[in-house]
Amino acid sequence: AQKVTQAQTEISVVEKEDVTLDCVYETRDTTYYLFWYKQPPSGELVFLIRRNSFDEQNEISGRYSWNFQKSTSSFNFTITASQVVDSAVYFCALSELKHQLTFGKGTKLSVIP
Amino acid sequence: DTGVSQDPRHKITKRGQNVTFRCDPISEHNRLYWYRQTLGQGPEFLTYFQNEAQLEKSRLLSDRFSAERPKGSFSTLEIQRTEQGDSAMYLCASRGGRGENEQFFGPGTRLTVL
């Protein structure tokens, strides 16, 4: 069975601080996909990134970066120089070949001006 | 707007009534998913369609729930004899073909059962 754990329920940072959101996953499949989604107060889930299990290369997109480590089954997300607009709930998710997403419980990030 | 759309956005109903939600996926996407999200939790998978075929159903989908996707376009999710425990946000997502693994979500339908 697949499982995603986001141990941090809520995080508060002051604007311009860096913040890392943790994600640990469990799966028995060798081929799988990992995702991060953002859910702002408006409620709509916004896709941020997808990584394949065979591609451990880290990725940077503007102020966002992702660190995928198969050895520790982790897929962590860092926001550099956080802004108030980054305030949202962030979900890590996993899909195996069956396609459906298994989500973690989310981490609520509050960026204080 | 070419994103996923859902209707209605909000639904308040009395216990025991039937409700139906609609999802219109991104037009070229052949895969469609329904999820349910309760307060403070991540979305949980309910069911999956590839074109018009319903290929997967979660154990969360009790006999009171039924989903359809006639002609492989829009989808409907019906809940019969609603219960207070059905109160949640119902999310629809769609996905393209092979190689496109990311799912794009609609705004959701928030159901409140009184």
Picking from B42, B56, B108, the nearest residue to A103 by CB comes out as: B42
| A102 and chain B in contact, CB less than 8 A | yes
Checking if the pLDDT of B72 tops 90, the result is no
Instruction: For residue A67, count CB atoms less than 10 angstroms from its CB and return exposed for 0-12, middle for 13-18, buried for 19 or more.
Output: middle
Neighbouring CB atoms inside 10 A of B105's CB total: 23
SS3 content of chain B, % helix, strand, coil (to 5): 5, 50, 45
Give pLDDT tens digits for A3-32.
Answer: 999 999 999 999 999 999 999 999 999 899
What are the tens digits of pLDDT across the range A56-88? 888 888 999 999 999 999 999 999 999 999 999
Residue B99, pLDDT > 80, answer: no
Which amino acid belongs to residue B75? Answer: S
Average pLDDT for residues A34-46, to the nearest whole number? 93
Predicted pLDDT at A99: 78
pLDDT over 70, % of chain A? 99
Q: For an interface test with A, which of B5, B33, B89, B101 has the most A Cβ atoms less than 10 Å from its Cβ?
A: B101
pLDDT band at A96 (very low <50, low <70, confident <90, very high): confident
Q: Which residues contact A72 (CB under 8 A, 6 or more apart)?
A: A24
In this structure, the number of other CB atoms found within 10 A of the CB of residue A54 comes to 9
Distance CA B45, CA A74 (A): 22
Please determine, for residue A42, whether its predicted confidence score (pLDDT) is greater than 90.
no
Q: Flag whether residue B89 sits within 8 Å of chain A, measured between CB atoms.
A: yes
Residue B42 predicted with pLDDT over 90 = yes
In chain A, count H helices and then E strands: 0, 12
Give me the residue label for tokens 């999802």: B23
Confidence of residue B1 (pLDDT cuts 50, 70, 90): low
B100 — pLDDT class (breaks 50, 70, 90): low
